[in-house]
Amino acid sequence: MMSWKEEKNKLTKSFEFDDFTQAFAFMTRVAFLAEEHQHHPNWSNVYNQVNIELTTHDAGNTVTEKDRKLAAAIDKI
């Protein structure tokens, strides 16, 4: 599994699934996690692929511990 990549003040990762339904189900689970963490991703979805970018806007759009914690939680899904 690919790990999170830190570049341009963002943590980024792409996830690939068998189909759109699995990708959307994953996004739904991430949405609940994001609410729990009070930290929300920038993301996109095309068919079976979900691309996520994490950055902390309140800290000047840079990677913080909030991003790392949410990334670790997403990886556990």
Domains and CATH numbers, the chain: 10-75 (3.30.1360.20)
Helices (H), the chain: 20-37, 65-75
pTM score: 0.91
Q: In what order do the strands lie in the sheet with 10-16?
A: 5-7, 10-16, 49-54, 42-46
Helices 65-75 + 20-37 axis angle, to 10: 140
Burial class of residue 15 in the structure, from the number of CB atoms within 10 Å of its CB (0-12 exposed, 13-18 middle, 19+ buried): buried
- For 9-37, the pLDDT digits (tens) are 999 999 999 999 999 999 999 999 999 99
Q: Which of 11-15, 56-60, 70-74 has the lowest mean pLDDT?
A: 56-60
